[in-house]
Amino acid sequence: MYSGICMSPNLVSGRYDLVKFIKEIQAQGLYVCLRIGPFIESEWTYGGFPFWLHDVPGIVYRTDNEPFKFYMQNFTTKIVNLMKSEGLYASQGGPIILSQIENEYQNVEAAFHEKGPIYVKWAAKMGVELETGVPWVMCKQTDAPDPVINTCNGMRCGETFGGPNSPNKPSMWTENWTSFYQVYGGEPYIRSAEDIAFHVALFIAKKGSYINYYMYHGGTNFGRTTSAYVITSYYDQAPLDEYGLLRQPKWGHLKELHIMIKNCSTPLLQGVQSNFSIGPLQQAYVFKEGTGACVAFLVNNDATKNVTVQFQNNSFELLPKSIGILPDCQNMVFNTAKVTTKPNKRITTLTKMFNEVDMWKEFKEDIPNFLDNSLRSNSLLEHMNTTQDKSDYLWYTFSFQPNSTCPQPVLHVESLGHVVHAYINTIFIEAGHGSHDTKGFSMDIPITLIDGINNVSILSVMVGLPDSGAFLESRYAGLTKVTIQCSESYIYDFTNYTWGYQIGLEGEKLQVFKEQSLEEVEWSEIDDSTNKSLTWYKTTFDAPIGDEPIALNMSSMQKGAVWVNEQSIGRYWVSFLTSKGNPSQTLYHVPRSFLNPTGNLLVVLEELNGDPLQISLNTISLVNVNSPFSYHHLPQ
């Protein structure tokens, strides 16, 4: 069981009630690896750190730095003491069998030079001295100091893991990636049931004692919790998808494998392992226990063909890239590449279209000019430090009057943020954006200037904060250069100029997504103007009958955010297409726990030019391939 914790100030209420969550895990007969971090990465904005940490004088994250170590120890101690006070460690009869300190630190350790290893030793010692009564682990940390256990993360730890760094430590796989996170502009990563099963079986065959799936159940990154460019849906390709529905055959095939391994627990836990070659690309791993219990794993590493091997005077045919499991060392009853579970597919059923004009009301953001803003600077301010993560949005504004003719002006913008919307004299001109793999971008936009004072308003947008890498506290985002070119020889450079700034949007400040704040602005009928940028829309709807999961289809929109009954469903970015021309995500999960039977408030912020009249509400269900019958519940 995975439990990663971000440094939230509130760990005792609502969806952040950590104690309640862990007690529910125990009630369901499960165990917990409490991954305290406090850096967790996890495609969570800022790696789980609160942004205020950035402003602590002299702080450098995740190294031998006294300010950082102070806050890290304070947080870790708070979590451990909270767990102890509730009797939740296994040493107290609770479900927490492991604790984790730090997260994949070796990926960045070299960047801190001699301070990296010092920090590793300090973090390990600090955790152990909290005396949880259960082991501590460090994932992807080959130099984890005793008694902390070094563990593996990845998709193929049976092949890539170098093993424990001490003979008295078990071989553990703390993250078996069943898929991979998806970013805007990226296609989903599909990992097959056969591949997952092969590497699980191989890790067990090589004396692996612990495997944790990341993720076994997908989920939803509500609100602004995703890291940079990561979509709202998370690990939807897991054995249990974002909605908690079975993704077959992945779920069923792994269940069969788990049953097989559990039934072989006696020789696996008490037997002696041996391994030997049974072919040029084939290997046997055998566990024999004194009373006669025996299990064999016959491995075929040849991905191109079936292979017949000899084992204990019997012939066994192995499928390409597969492992055959013989729970009695005589009969092969499971092969990782032989899937017997029937596949299924997810279907959406339309329950409501929001396609009538009189269903909706709209409120348009005013485009701020330089004179509207009291926050001023003679240079371009860094985006994250200015907003303090209170909003995705930061307005950069300036005004100027050309002092010569400018017949064909071109606005040039360079940004290390994620998105830019450019306005000249409150008129939307163009939008541009970067990508997860391209950290900066530029725009060259032909514009029209008026005689006299011109107002330039540029909205910089972040789609989550960075979550990984060294020196996270020193990252730069936002505009880096702005010019207007009048001719090849004459360019206005506004990079070092007097700028006005506005943090966030007016609708955000007034919280127009809340019922009690709706009257703070003047809502009007939807008009038919072509300028739909930065528009808020609101309507109401009744919950669909039944208990099937619910999703909003936002395929007619472009980029923005959604709220239902004041709960943020997350960001959407439908207009950012993949290389195959598809949106990365169009369906947005609305948990039934967010809904009332009737009169649910839906508020949408559209940044560009989406059409709310084509938004729809859908239920999600499953159907077996080649079967007309749908279902949505977990089997008993």
Tell me which residues are annotated as active site.
Answer: 104, 175
Bridge partners of 347? Answer: 621
d(CA 402, CA 43): 45
Virtual torsion, Cα 117, 472, 570, 5, nearest 10 deg: 30
Q: Which of 635, 22, 4 is nearest to 341 (CA)?
A: 635
DSSP secondary structure letter of residue 268: H
H or E stretch including 393?
Answer: strand 393-400
Cα–Cα nearest to 230, from 395, 432, 41, 443: 41
Cβ neighbors of 623 (< 8 A, separation 6 or more) are 344, 345, 347, 629, 630, 631
DSSP state of 274: E
Q: How far apart are CA 275 and CA 273, in angstroms?
A: 7
Which residue, chain included where needed, has tokens 């990984």?
468
Of the candidates 480, 486, 439, 485, the one whose C-alpha atom is nearest the C-alpha of residue 460 is: 480
Strands 136-139 and 149-154: parallel
Element of type H or E holding 234: strand 233-234
Asked if 98 and 34 touch (Cβ cutoff 8 Å), the reply is yes
Kindly state the helix (H) or strand (E) to which residue 133 belongs, with its residue range.
Answer: none
Helix 250-263, helix 193-205: angle, nearest 10: 20
C-alpha–C-alpha distance, residues 51 and 37, integer Å: 16
